[in-house]
Structures are given as structure tokens and as C-alpha cells.
Amino acid sequence: MRTLDRKPSHQAKTPRDPMMTQVKFVQLQNKLDRLKKSQPFAASEVSRLAELGDFSENAEYQMAKWKLRGINYAILTLESEIQEAQIIPSNDQQDSIQVGHIVTVQNGDKISIYQILGSSETNPQRGVISHHSPIGIALLGHKVGDVVVVNLASKNVEYKIINIK
């Protein structure tokens, strides 16, 4: 009998960043609902294929069982993520940079706009950076007019904070 190749447990338990927007939280809840709706069908499919007998030669049964395990694992993961979630509040206070703010910075002649969010929502091409990234860490707590030095790829880059939204 062939065994499934699985990841070692130390790789599966990487710490998650619980900070997320309300939009991301709703997306996770919707995904969880979809998975929970698909779970009974996947379980009935496993039962139906189990009736065909000889599990070692039944490829359809093995695939259905694999799919059901994947659904169950995804449900557990999403439930854990939702339970641990910390919703980023909408910040009316714009004196200093906090998670959730949109920040305009200037580096020489170049102006960049970054939104600082949790790690699960980052998209550097769209200007969404993590509060754990080098730029995010450097910007947090600073005010308009401050000059922040960020160590990027073994060089120091200066950013002047222009605006906070």
C-alpha cells in the first residue's frame, strides 16, 4: 500500500498574522461557508465509492478521500483564522501612521503610495504592504513631514512622509 507524502508538522505550523480588514474577514467567512456546503457531498461520494470494495485498487475512492481530507483541513484552517482574526479598525486619527492607513511618501523625485495592512492581504504591485515589511515597520508611528530611513537590500533609502489617509 502506498502512503501519502505529507509535509512535516514543523512546516505546517508557521505563525499567521491575525490582522485583516473587514473585507478580508468576510471573504474568509464566505469561503468557509462554501466549503462547509461542499463537505456533505464529498463525504457521500467517499461512502458511495467505498461500496465498490477493494480500497487498494480503487483510484476513484482514493481521490475522493484525498479531496475530503483537503476540504476538512481547509475548514479547520479557516475556522482557526477567523477565530484568531483581529479586524483592522478604520482610523479617523491621522496624526501618526497606523495599520490600515494609506501613506504617500517621497523618495527623491519619486512619489509612492502604500496601504499598510496585515500580511495576508499584501500586494506590493498594488501598493499594499505588510506592517511587518521593512517599509511598513519603518513608517508605523511617524507623522507627516518625518523622514524615515529604511534598510532595503543592504542600502539605506530615505522616505519623506507627504500624506496620511
Q: What is the mean pLDDT of the chain?
A: 86
pLDDT, position 58: 77
Rg (Cα) of the chain, in Å, rounded? 23
pLDDT band at 165 (very low <50, low <70, confident <90, very high): confident
Contact 113, 104 (CB under 8 A): yes
Is a pLDDT exceeding 60 seen at residue 46?
A: yes
Cα separations in angstroms, 121 against 15, 38, 153: 15, 26, 23
Provide the whole-model pTM: 0.76
For 45, residues 6+ apart whose C-beta sits below 8 A from its C-beta are 64, 67, 68
Q: What is the DSSP secondary structure assignment for residue 51, as one 8-state letter?
A: T
Q: What residue ranges define each of the domains in the chain, with the CATH number in brackets?
A: 17-87 (1.10.287.180), 102-164 (3.10.50.30)
Residue 104 sits at the vertex; the CA angle it makes with 102 and 108, to the nearest 5 degrees, is 155
Q: Is residue 61 packed enough to be buried (19+ CB in 10 Å), middle (13-18) or exposed (0-12)?
A: buried
Q: Is the pLDDT of residue 1 over 50?
A: no
Asked if the model's pLDDT at residue 11 lies above 90, the reply is no
Q: What is the pLDDT of residues 85-121, one digit of tens each?
A: 999 887 777 788 899 899 999 998 999 999 999 988 8
Taking the C-alpha atoms of residue 55 and residue 13, their distance in angstroms, rounded to an integer, is 31
Pairing of strands 128-130, 110-117: parallel
* pLDDT tens for each residue of 108-155: 899 999 999 998 888 989 999 999 989 999 999 999 988 999 888 888
Q: Are strands 102-107 and 110-117 parallel, antiparallel or unpaired?
A: antiparallel
Closest residue by Cα to residue 142 from 153, 152, 131, 151: 131
Lowest mean pLDDT among 26-30, 38-42, 161-165: 161-165
Residue scoring higher pLDDT (151 or 10): 151
**By percentage, how much of the chain surpasses pLDDT 70?**
91
